[in-house]
Chain A
Amino acid sequence: MKGILPRLGRIFLKNSFKILSLLLAVSILSFVLVNASPVDPVQQYITGLGTAVSPEQREQIEDYWGADDPPAKRYVSWLSGLLRGDLGESAVYRRPVADIIGERFLNSFVLMLCAWAMSGILGFISGCAMGMYRGRRPDRFLKKICYVLSSIPSFWLGLVFLLVFAVWLGWFPVGFSAPVGVLSADVTLWQKVHHLILPAFTLSLVSFPNIALHTRQKLGDVLDSEYVLFARARGEGEWSVLFRHGLRNIVLPALTLQFASFSELFGGSVLAENVFSYPGLGSAAAEAGLNSDVPLLLGITLFSALFVCAGNMIANLLYGIIDPRIREVNK
Chain B
Amino acid sequence: MEQKKEPLLEIRDLSVSFRMYSRGLKQTDLRVISDLDFTARSGEITAIAGASGSGKSLLSSAVLGILPDNASVCGRIYYKGRELTPDLQKKLRGTEIALVPQSVAYLDPLMKTGEQADGHRKPRPTEKREKLFRRLGLPEQTEYLYPFQLSGGMARRILVSSALLTDAQLIIADEPTPGMSLEQALEALKLFREMADSGSAVVLITHDIDLAFEFADRISVFYAGTTVETAPASDFRKGPDALRHPYSRALWRALPQNGFQPLDGFQPYAGALPEGCLFAPRCPHRTEKCTVQVPPSREVRGGEVRCYYGA
Give residues in A with beta carbon < 8 Å to B.
Answer: 225-227, 229-236, 240, 244-245, 248-249, 323-325, 328
Contact = CB atoms under 8 A, between A and B. Distances in A.
Nearest to A240: B120
Contacts of A229: 66, 101, 106
Contacts of A236: 94, 120
Contacts of B108: 227, 231, 244-245, 248-249
B109 to A, nearest CB: 7
Given A225-B105, A226-B101, A234-B94, A248 B64 contact: no
Contacts of A235: 90, 92-95, 120-121
B127 to A, nearest CB: 20
Nearest to A324: B146
Nearest to A249: B110
Interface in B101-146: 101, 103, 105-111, 119-121, 146
B99 interface: yes
A324 B98 contact: no
B110 A324 contact: yes
Contact of A234 (B105, B110, B148, B162): B162
Contacts of B110: 248-249, 323-325
B149 interface: yes
17 contacts: A226-B101, A226-B105, A226-B106, A227-B108, A227-B109, A229-B106, A230-B107, A231-B120, A232-B66, A234-B119, A236-B120, A244-B111, A248-B108, A249-B109, A325-B109, A325-B110, A328-B146
B120 A226 contact: no
Given A232-B93, A249-B110, 8 more contacts: A233-B61, A233-B93, A234-B162, A235-B92, A248-B110, A324-B146, A325-B146, A328-B146
Nearest to A229: B66
Given A227-B109, A245-B108, A325-B109, A233 B146 contact: no
Given A240-B120, A244-B120, A325-B146, A233 B109 contact: no
Contacts of A324: 110, 146
A25 to B, nearest CB: 37
A325 B148 contact: yes
Contacts of A233: 61, 64, 66, 93-94, 99, 101
B101 to A, nearest CB: 5
A226 B105 CA distance: 6
B306 to A, nearest CB: 28
* Nearest 9 A/B pairs, CB to CB: A235-B94, A234-B94, A235-B93, A230-B106, A226-B105, A233-B99, A227-B108, A226-B106, A248-B110
Interface centre among A229, A249, A323 (most CB of B within 10 A): A229
B286 to A, nearest CB: 39
Contacts of A226: 101, 103, 105-106
Nearest to B162: A234
B66 A227 contact: no
A230 B149 contact: no
B239 to A, nearest CB: 37
B111 to A, nearest CB: 7
B111 A245 contact: yes
A245 B120 CA distance: 11
A227 B119 contact: no
B98 A234 contact: yes
B21 to A, nearest CB: 15
A249 B108 CA distance: 9
B99 A230 contact: yes
